[in-house]
A and B are shown apart, each in its own frame.
Chain A
Amino acid sequence: MKRYDCLKLLAPMVDEHTFAVTSLSTNAPFWFNVRPEGPNFFALNMGLCLPFALGLTAAFPKRKVISIDSDGSLMNDASSLITVADVNPPNLVAFVFDNSSYAFMGSTFTARRTDLAKMAQGAGIAKSGTVRTLEEFSAAAKQAIESPGPHFIVAKVEPDAGRVAADRSRTSGRPMREWFMDAVRRHPDYQGRR
């Protein structure tokens, strides 16, 4: 299973008011290509993707917040799973693309014994599972977006180093944050100053 194919399946399931947060590196340019518009926060640093999404679930309780994380990133702060379980936000959908390696660095493994879905269950996230095929991914994603969560889906993907071009001014740094804030201010649920 390839990460890009998963994200291509996911994009049409996500409506215009759904929030999405991605980890660094591969997830950011891929997701930008399949969902360039809407409230997206791209390329959070290692360990910060899931916690950032958790914060958004509190700010926008009526909307689904989708965290598009990766195994290396989540392993930087596996404790965030405990906080997610304890807060128990029904609108959080967390995907972890697990290629078992830091592929960006020429494939060094992340961990050889770890089962992230089981760690999430241990943390207390009941709706937690692993998918290995596109059919399973599609079914799990659809179910997670339509039903109350929190949901935690580990998608086992190949450690390909496939690259797609993305406009860096939309996926990193200050301009990306401005785009995100702009989308938040235009969001129908936004309660702050416009």
Chain B
Amino acid sequence: MKRLDCLKLLAPIVDEHMLTVTSLSSNTAFWSDLRREGANFFGCNMGLCIPFALGLTAAFPKRKVIALDSDGSLMVDTSSLITVADVNPPNFVAIVMDNGSYARMGSTFTTRKTDLEKIAQGAGIANTVTVQSEEALSAAVEHALATSGPHFIVAKVEPDRVRVKGDPHRTYGRFMRECFVDAVRRHPDYQQARK
């Protein structure tokens, strides 16, 4: 299973008012190309994707928040799963693209023994699944978006090194953040802070 094919499946299922957060590198470049509009925060640094999404679930309790994380990133802060389980946000959906390696760096493995789904279960997240095929991923994501969570989905993907050229303005730095904040301000659920 390839990461790009997974994200292509995902893009039409995500509605315009859902919020998405991506980890660095491949997820950012792929997702920015597939979902050009809406509230997207791209390129969270290692370990920060799930915690950032968790914060958004509290700010937008009526909308699904989707964290598009990867195994290397999640392993920087596995403890965040404990916080997710404890807060138990029903609108939280984490999809971890697990290629078993830091593929960007010429394929060094992340870990040889770890089962991220089992770690998430141990942390206390009840709705977890590992998928190996596009059909299974599609079904898992549709289920996660239709039902109460938190949901934790591990998608086993190949460590391919395919690159798409993401627009760096839209996926990085101040301009990306401005686009995100702008989308948040235009979001129907946004409640302006009282001065």
Residues of A within 8 A of B (CB): 75-79, 81-82, 85-86, 88, 111-124
Secondary structure at chain B's binding surface: helix, strand, loop or mixed?
A: helix
Per-position 1/0 for B99-136, Cβ under 8 A of A: 00000000000011111111111111100000000000
Check A114–B111 contact: CB distance below 8 A: no
Tell me how far the C-beta of B45 lies from the nearest C-beta in chain A, rounded to whole angstroms.
15
Is B111 a contact partner of A111 (Cβ separation < 8 A)?
Answer: no
Closest chain A residue to B123, Cβ basis:
A114
Q: Which 6 A-B pairs have the closest CB atoms?
A: A113-B124, A124-B113, A122-B118, A118-B122, A119-B122, A122-B119
Which residues of chain B come closer than 8 Å to A111, judged between CB atoms? 82, 85-86, 123-124
Binding site for A on B (CB under 8 A): 75-79, 81-82, 85-86, 88, 111-125
- Specify the chain A residue showing the minimal Cβ separation from B84: A113
What would 5 more interface pairs be, CB under 8 Å, given A86-B111, A111-B86, A123-B119? Answer: A75-B79, A78-B78, A79-B75, A81-B78, A113-B123
* Secondary structure type dominating chain A contacts: helix
Query: With A114-B122, A118-B121, A119-B123 known to touch, is A82 a contact of B114 (CB < 8 Å)?
Result: yes
Contact partner of A124 (CB less than 8 A), chosen from B76, B111, B123, is B111
B51 to chain A, nearest CB (A): 13
| Centre residue among B113, B117, B122, B123 by max chain A CB count within 10 A | B122
Please judge, given known A-B contacts A114-B124, A119-B119, whether A82 and B86 are in contact too, CB under 8 Å.
no
Q: Does B122 lie within 8 Å of A116, measured CB to CB?
A: yes
- B86 x A123 contact (CB < 8 A): no
Q: Are A79 and B78 in contact (CB under 8 A)?
A: yes
Neighbour of A123 across the interface among B77, B113, B124, CB < 8 A = B113
B80 (CB) vs chain A CBs: closest residue: A78
CB proximity of B59 to chain A, nearest CB, Å: 23
With contacts A85-B113, A85-B114, A113-B86 taken as known, whether A122 is within 8 angstroms of B79 at the C-beta atoms is: no
Chain B residues, CB < 8 A from A79: 75-79
